Chains A and B, each alone.
Chain A
Amino acid sequence: MSHLLEATDLKMQFGGLLAVNNVSLHVDDKEIVSVIGPNGAGKTTVFNCLTGFYQPTDGIILYKGEPIHGLPGHIISRKGVVRTFQHVRLFKEMTVIENLLVAQNRHLNTSLLAGLLKTKGYRKAESEAMDRAEYWLKQVDLLDKANWLAGNLAYGQQRRLEIARCMVTEPGLIMLDEPAAGLNPKETSDLDGLISHLRDEFNLAVLLIEHDMKLVMDISDRIYVVNQGAPLAQGTPEEIQNNPDVIKAYLGED
């Protein structure tokens, strides 16, 4: 059986720097997979390659068996792979609800004329988008903030809105880059619950970069460790916790 997402021998070179060297990974349906490693290990670069933010120098990326490497970001996202970034990248000058509507642009009637004339089909699509947005605002507990400017939300709320914004695109795989960064322990445990909930309720696969080891060990089905751009280890949380190479990379040699 083929995997949901499968990357083979991914390479990314910036001038003389080999930021990602022969990283392979796969994610199956309904799986939560984490990528961990020291700062600067190339985790985010892997994400950037997978989502079309960078064009990988070499390697093959398949999503549902289809090659997606080299495709522009919007096409990859339309196929069902969406992501967040390390820092919050909401449209801060737009309202919460507008953030969720922008993400659904492709579901809407794309004709400019239909938009200007507000045809029946356009209005129907728009109201479906609105319903979906409302549904996801409920899921992340932000419904009462729908008309706030996104930039005025508290940090933890902005993080949740980003996840909702990914979810309205109805993805098959969501990639979260350090979603717990800057969250307090309470917010982190809420996030833990939200991610598991997404997987269980919406058949979603999750690929996660995270430094919060408690979160990673709690929710991951499998973990990949990268160090200095190269794969170091992979396995279940227990295997990783007991892997001497991983301990050495994180804590340094004796």
Chain B
Amino acid sequence: MGPVLAGFLQLLALIGALALAYVPLGNYMAKVFSADKHWRVEMWVYRGIGADPDAKMRWPAYLRGVLAFSAVGVLFLYLLQRIQGVLPGSFGFSSIEPAQAFNTAASFVTNTNWQSYYGEQAMGHIVQTAGLAVQNFVSAAVGIAVAVALVRGFARSRTGELGNFWADLVRGTIRILLPGAAIAAIVLVACGAIQNFSGIHEVGQFMGGSQQWNGGAVASQEAIKEFGTNGGGYFNANSAHPFENPTPFTNLFEIFLLLVIPFALTRTFGVMVGSVKQGYAILAAMCTIWLGFVVLMMWTEFAHHGPALQAAGGAMEGKEVRFGVGSSSIFAVSTTLTSTGAVDSFHSSFTGLGGGITMLGMMLGEIAPGGTGSGLYGMLIMAVIAVFIAGLMVGRTPEYLGKKIGSREMKLAAIYILITPALVLVFTAISMALPTPPHSMLNSGAHGFSEVLYAFTSAANNNGSAFAGLNANTDWFNTMTGSAMLLGRFLPMVFVLALAGSLAEQKPVPVTAGTLRTDKPLYAGLLVGTIVVITGLTYFPALALGPLAEGLA
């Protein structure tokens, strides 16, 4: 069997596994967010928080919960890093400098997991497990909560109530993320991922002398890093490190983990709005983009254009032998089309076009299938825009799921899609125009520009992967990418929740013969077209200066 065929068989196996999980996980999540009863352990948690989980929240209250919880999260994680030097179990590592600590705190709270530090020489046990890994859970749960609030906005009428943020946060963490991560962590350990609390220790070598490794609770963090589409590696090499991702099976398993919630949430959406077909249409649009990107990526990586890769005879630079080109390509596309940003191979050394595909994946807004929660709400905003465009064509007031898309709804949706591109392009332009920031580039020319563009695309879209040649640990990049992450995460959430509130207040419009059917393939096609056109128009000039120039050179 050749590597290309093996690559496609792995893709088929992955699709099969995702298809098997789709209905049960999607239904389960719908039940979690619709159930009246609280688990006893959850009641203890609510008592600890001092919140009433049954209080109904309108959108401003829901948003205040999200912002307060996240603000405290940033501050707590910042302080934890600043006092690392005196914490036990820190391997003797010193405290993290302010700019980097801010960047890292913003990064993990926003589900970005951009890392301007080397995991194995910066973070000790407590910061990793009680700081970073906790945000892996709760930032994912916050994303799911906001998505569920938007779905409730579509599902409910004549009320402004979107549910209870604390209940959604706690249920998402305890009923969905925690059990899933626990099972996944055990599977990873069984395959060779490490899980211990030893310090830095010396291990003998074959030729004499010794290597030094740090121990760590790696498997438990790796599991939630993928399952919550976070992406921040325990080690610098992220999921390329054999202790994080030891075998070809774990590689496929990790891709499965990072895709399963975002895809299954379309089922949750369908169940909650009372028509699973509506979920299928959204799923179809996501799958079309994801599959198209995977095939394109495999083609360009197997063809290995680019002088260095031609000289080597294959695109193996930055890739591991056990994964090979096929499996690495699937990982790269899946991590950048979700908000994960974990890497099992280094995107900077991909072919010019391959690197461009990873960047384009993020520029689409990470909606195919996107991050946990953020993928669904991003896609639903696009769905609103697609019905609006269709409405313009036939001259009818657009409707989606029985709700009128009026001027207020369209303004909110339009501002949502403008925020991220504005952050990416403005921050990139400023960084290139100033005298010092470009010194951080490792490569020169088109690829150097791509490094900076990739950094802000990754930050503002809350992805976290990097063209890691860029030296991002400077005050400029730490501060600016940190700000891009916070703005790119929470500003859009404001408009998502405002939209949800406005939809929930409406009374439903009856379906008539003239209503655009949004559960049909035609609509899914329209949705894909809308996404491609909007992204294409926004980013084409920037892409032409970077990856396209490199790929066509």
A-B interaction = no
Q: List residues of B whose CB falls within 8 A of some A CB.
A: none
